[in-house]
Structure 1
């Protein structure tokens, strides 16, 4: 209410990503780089498939279809594509070297993976990080103040009627909380959240050692879901409260405007937080690059394709929401048995490549 719709959305999106971003920063500083990469992909998948899919499923249960802002949906398609394709390029580069097969003792002398080879990928990743940050800042400027007189701070002419009505209602509502109190509360909440996230990371080793969960599944699904548990619990409480109101009071009319802010969370994580982590790794001497596991990149590309296809017509229904959830479950099932690429683990080690190769050979043996 104080910042307006566009800047307010940016603040909400950033705060919703705060837990996952804090978790990612702690993993980076603790040099859990391979787990960090899996967690980044897992966070994007969570906000790309499960959360909006659940929203489309529940929100579209009583209406033929819900509407999305077509103008913003088209921009989101482009932003999702460039964020995911930025991971495809280094993966394709690495795969084109045609290096395959398990690690062995002979690989120590013949393997093309060297510190210089990794340094080339780090330089590519840091350059790509700067480009992705520029794209994200440009997209926020465009959304905040699109070209044309009178287009700022209001829905586009092709926006659905529900979005225009919601914008007018927001202009009439007056805040009842002092902004200073909100800022203080947010600062305290973020500080408590950071402590909780650090405790979560500290418990990682215990869980990994005491269970048979693969590290890939741990990073792709368990950590993102646990980090989202507070927001998820809040959403469940509001959903149950609305159900009780419908059963024991006057039922609320179905909302024809679909909630797709979770997709914006994925866009921010790929275009802002991931490049930020790459540059932070450069500053703190952690070799984090955009060279991700080929399996992780593949499921990201497939998820991006599905989401873009579902939202292409700026309309959603409960079946499309169910399809998105089903694909998330399929990825979770296959990831349970996936052990990961050993080469990517070597490239993500904070030690030298020679030392990481010795450790990799020993662990495979």
Structure 2
């Protein structure tokens, strides 16, 4: 078997209005992984256009996500930060994978069904095929690990299926070109921490989302201290005190969500939070959560605002990262072309 460098790849869509769910579910994990892995973090703008976008807003959102990466503590000098569309090999490898993946595999993707809704005939081909692009994003860098939320596990499993089928379909050519028994690794998921899925502040059974019509359902990274405090105090709860044991959160989605948010922001487990707040009422707990959220999030929002006002700096970070990413991507595509049988 080929030896693969332990490498993390992950991406965030530039959809605007980054919120607490994006921060706790993805960005904080990215920051932590820098200490232990070789990391590549991508603003996946090619994925964004699978649904209609305002071009001016898209450009602003790409810069906003980059600013959030930097403000949260991602080191763009030690690791690679770039936007996907600057590295053409993403689309090039995605086409090869379109020819490896099978329609039945893509038909099973639940996110396509959710995003396309009832009118699937009107959905773009890109929306249907974008799991192949996601596989290309990861495998272009021969990444071994991918931090994912629960809702992305299915797409990562598809990436593994595509990698495995490529390795099997071209096994003879892979060996003949000196790559051993397998060219692509089978990337493993990294699901870390207690708040991998942050829920709405208005409904603990729904994921926190920028598309929710109520702004009180989410904490935006751009919110100031007063807005954060107001949203937490208005967050939906139930009439009972917090339980002392984690089992007591089982049928209390709003309580479970707020405890999970506190735990993630404070670097604790839910059990540790309940050891401190079990038996107390929500007003006491929410006051503590307000103080913690304001302390953790306001400096990030302030730094994001400062960075987004300097578009030239952000664009420079992305260009530098894209140049570094391109070196790895080009090497992979040269090998893929040899394996597939292209003349280049």
With normalisation by structure 1, the TM-score equals: 0.24
Give me the TM-score of the superposition, normalised by structure 2. 0.25
Larger relative helix fraction: 1
Bigger relative contact order, structure 1 or 2 (CA pairs below 8 A, ≥6 apart): 1
